[in-house]
Amino acid sequence: MTDRPNPSPRITFGMIVLNGEPFVLYNLRALYPYAHEIIVVEGAAPAAIGIATEDGHSRDGTLDAIKRFMQEEDPADKVTLVTAEDEGYTNGFWPGEKNEQSQAYAKRATGDYLWQIDCDEFYRADHIDIVMDRLRADPSISGASFHQITFWGDTQTTVDGWYLRRGAATYHRLFKWGPGYRYTSHRPPTVTDASGRDVRTDNWVTSRQTREWGVVLFHYSLLFPKQVIEKCDYYGRAEWARRPDALDWADNTFFRLTRPFRVHNVYDYPSWLERFDGDHPGEVKRMMHDIAEKTLRIDTRPMDDVQKLLDSFSYRIIRQFIQWADYPLRPLERTKNRFVRLWRRIAPHEPSNGRKKGEPAP
């Protein structure tokens, strides 16, 4: 875990984490050689109350793991840990839904670029090298988006679908940074420069361009049962997510695979599973090796049913049809959405209980 010979430009990695085991240590090790600094913001937002300790922290040892890394694997003092208490939130919980957490690492950032990363998001080392080379070659680059590949159940299986193909697979992650810059929004991630202008309006590199460079984001967001249950608990409570059936999806789809074409956790859209035979980031391979050798203990999902499904001729045919159907249906859905918005503007808004608009409840 040594620094690269040419560390410029200086990269501040900003990470929000809650219950980040087993990823967090492997991710810190992966980022460390490229980092000017790594600012880790730990703790729960209000909607994560069901998966946090009473005082708003990780319940799986993540906080201790970060502190141990700082003591044992941070010779250059690159890592800074921030909790809600450090920002004056004495009950340990962060307010809002991630804006405050992202702003906590952003306001401490001193690098030339701010690279946002979740603990289950990884990049291959050669991909980071490509990005660093591009930034050195063109300092006018104001940031970049990346295409993310979502892994499901193991590292040989990915999930794709209409939701991802309609823009959700693009993650805005890398932002120019400097004095007067501000992180203004977590959804979508937005940074403004000293004049208040969104840096994505400048020389922004799109996810299509970074894919042409050969760079993708490896997102292990649906890899382990523990992780899926915790995410679904959070999404089921978070008002912005609007996924009241998230835990039901986890039970019936992730664990029992009863809906093989609703396998992405944004389950309103058709989705499907595919095999992946590419190369993974080095620290992910080490993590999976440690799990296989039982030096790292975490429950994994049995994948026999998935392998049988992917071997099925009928599944492949239906999957191909759903992939094809996405494009001709998009104009129809846009028309429907415009009609719904128009109707909401012009139609009277009558309460469903029969009272007239504005009439008080009895």
pLDDT in tens, the chain (362 residues): 555 655 689 999 999 999 999 999 999 999 999 999 999 999 999 999 999 999 999 999 999 999 999 999 999 999 999 999 999 999 999 998 899 999 999 999 999 999 999 999 999 999 999 999 999 999 999 999 999 999 999 999 999 999 999 999 999 999 999 999 999 999 999 999 999 999 999 999 999 999 999 999 999 999 999 999 999 999 999 999 989 999 999 999 999 999 999 999 999 999 999 999 999 999 999 999 999 999 999 999 999 999 999 999 999 999 999 999 998 878 776 665 665 565 556 554 444 333 333 333 33
- Looking at the domain assignment, is residue 348 inside a domain? no
**What is the amino acid identity at position 35?**
A
- Looking at the domain assignment, is residue 332 inside a domain? yes
pLDDT at 357: 36
- Looking at the domain assignment, is residue 355 inside a domain? no
- Looking at the domain assignment, is residue 343 inside a domain? no
Question: Which residue range(s) make up the domain with 190?
Answer: 1-337
Sequence-distant (≥ 6) Cβ neighbours of residue 193 within 8 angstroms:
176, 178, 180, 181, 199, 202
- Looking at the domain assignment, is residue 311 inside a domain? yes
pLDDT at 353: 39
| Residue whose structure tokens are 């990346």 | 146
Give the number of other Cβ atoms within 10 Å of residue 333's Cβ.
Answer: 12
CA distance 150 to 148: 6
How many domains does the chain divide into? 1
- Looking at the domain assignment, is residue 342 inside a domain? no
Sequence-distant (≥ 6) Cβ neighbours of residue 353 within 8 angstroms:
none
pLDDT at 244: 94
- Looking at the domain assignment, is residue 350 inside a domain? no
Q: What string of H, E and C letters represents the secondary structure of the chain?
A: CCCCCCCCCCEEEEEEECCCCCHHHHHHHHHHHHCCEEEEEECCCHHHHHHCCCCCCCCCCHHHHHHHHHHHCCCCCCEEEECHHHHCCCCCCCCCCCHHHHHHHHCCCCCCEEEEEECCEECCHHHHHHHHHHHHHCCCCCEEEEEEEEEECCCCEEEEEHHHHHHHCEEEEEEECCCCCEEEEECCEEEECCCCCEHHHCCEECHHHHHHHCCCEEEEEECCHHHHHHHHHHHHHCCCCCCCCHHHHHHHHHHCCCCCCCCCCCCCCCEEEEECCCCCCHHHHHHHHHHHCCCCCCCCCCCHHHHHHHHCHHHHHHHHHHHHHHHHHHHHHHHHHHHHHHHHHHCCCCCCCCCCCCCCCC
CA distance 228 to 220: 10
State both tokens at 306.
Answer: 């998935």
| pTM of this prediction exceeds 0.85 | yes
- Looking at the domain assignment, is residue 221 inside a domain? yes
